[in-house]
Amino acid sequence: MLSQSPNRITSPPWWQLMNWIADPLGFQDRYSQKYGDIFTMRLSGLGSLVVIANPQAIQEIFSQDSKFDAGRGNALAEPLFGQNSLMLMDGDRHRRERKLLMPPFHGERLETYAKQICLIAEQVASQWQVGQTFVARTAMQKISLEVILQVVFGLSEGERYRQLKPLLTDWINMTDSPLRSSMLFMRFLQQDWGAWTPWGRMKQLQRQVHGLLQAEIEERRTKGNKEGADVLSLMMAARDEHGQAMTDEELRDELITILFAGHETTATTIAWAFYQIHQRLDVREKLLQELDSLGANSPPMKHAHLPYLTAVCQETLRMYPVIPTIFPRITKSPVKIAGYLFDAETTLLPSMYLVHYREDLYPKAQQFEPERFLEHQYSPSEYFPFGGGSRRCLGYALAQLEMKLVLTTILSKYQLALAEDKPVKLQRRGFTLAPSGGVRMMMTGKR
């Protein structure tokens, strides 16, 4: 039995941190080739982290959730999301908050958002002109921001909506490159010296967004929160087992969490799907055949169950992780995993990227092959784009629904093509990874 920190990378921690920020996937490739599917990195200021790409070990982690904390491992997100974010919570507080937040994102509730999502996608795509190029990621970000504003915040018109939209876009775009993302990882860069410094501007935008959200919450409280269909209404109406509602600060921080966790991730994944569908014209052809087989005016939820479309989305999520690893799991006491005995306070980082590229699970892993998901069923520790256990992504069902509905709405009405034939690479964007250049596309006609 080995104890703690297997296969330690020996380069200086500051060098490892720079590499992790600049190229987290290349970093993982290099060291997994050298050390195998469990190795330890040491990031300056963040300590030792054990990267895990072994499905058996990951299965053991997911099935022993109560032995780990994940929230305190996300402390880097606190300056953005706030202290009352689900992502930063552990134990009973996390369980309570998840119970309050879950219902709007699952079951029949989701179906009520389907029509709205299709309308939003149609509105954005209808602005494209034949022969004109556009950046797919930016277009998808417009769609996913609008989905969050309408479906989650319940805002689709009025002064507050008009103010919030550009503020949120500016705020999120503050970390749109590896260099600008550095301030999230290096606390010494987090100095509020006024709006002309990057962190100062970030904080200024945050204060403005908080002000508008607080005003919305107060207005709903004083006017009486009409039981609307949006997520905020449901969150305000939810009560825990002691009859307690969420506080204003909790509501505000959870809205921001959902915005950051749900909007860039979904936009980026849909942009990658467009990229692959238009690189692989055989995939596009098969997808269109499947869509056309449903006929015009079929209800949106029918699209959500199409098998080939589902496989295309699954393969996109396999190939393009939106975050480099899932959340850190910190051992609360010594834990045995895959033959290693990890001390208390060891941080384990299951890597969906390394697992999703294992040749023994995904032959020709570098190729986009949706068929693999039709032919094979993967276990939750072999395929986990949304993480697992008690921390599994809160919005996984909404994200997949949005992906499918945006793709079908646009592909069934418009002919698109890639505007450039050079390969598109992954690049850091804040805490997430996105296509560098955003995938430039062109509308070539209507269907």
List residues near ligand HEM by CB under 6 A. 86-87, 98, 105, 257-258, 261-262, 265-266, 269, 322-323, 326-327, 385-388, 391-395, 398-399
Q: How far is the CB of 246 from ligand HEM (least distance, A)?
A: 14
Q: How far is the CB of 373 from ligand HEM (least distance, A)?
A: 16
Q: How far is the CB of 436 from ligand HEM (least distance, A)?
A: 18
φ/ψ of 273, rounded to 5, equals -65, -45
Residue closer to ligand HEM by CB (options 49, 87) is: 87
Residue closer to ligand HEM by CB (options 133, 138) is: 138
Q: How far is the CB of 146 from ligand HEM (least distance, A)?
A: 13
Residue closer to ligand HEM by CB (options 155, 442) is: 155
**Calpha distance 193→180 (Å, rounded):** 16
What six digits make up the tokens of 397?
């069902």
Residue closer to ligand HEM by CB (options 105, 368) is: 105
Q: How far is the CB of 388 from ligand HEM (least distance, A)?
A: 5
Q: Choose among 405, 97, 399, 407: nearest CA to 262.
A: 399
Q: Choose among 215, 121, 116: nearest CA to 161.
A: 215
What six digits make up the tokens of 301?
């939820």
> In this structure, are residues 323 and 431 in contact, taking their beta carbons and an 8 Å threshold?
yes
Q: Any residues with CB less than 8 A from the CB of 404 and at least 6 apart, and which? A: 303, 304, 306, 309, 310, 313
> In this structure, are residues 97 and 235 in contact, taking their beta carbons and an 8 Å threshold?
no
Residue closer to ligand HEM by CB (options 67, 442) is: 67
Task: Give the alpha-carbon dihedral of 77, 236, 263, 284, to 10 degrees.
Answer: 140
Q: Name the 3-class secondary structure at 171.
A: helix
Residue closer to ligand HEM by CB (options 252, 391) is: 391
Could you report how far apart the first and last alpha carbons of the chain are, in Å? 62
270-282 as b/e: b if 16+ CB within 10 A: bbbbbbbbbebee
Residue closer to ligand HEM by CB (options 301, 323) is: 323
Q: How far is the CB of 352 from ligand HEM (least distance, A)?
A: 7
Q: How far is the CB of 427 from ligand HEM (least distance, A)?
A: 17
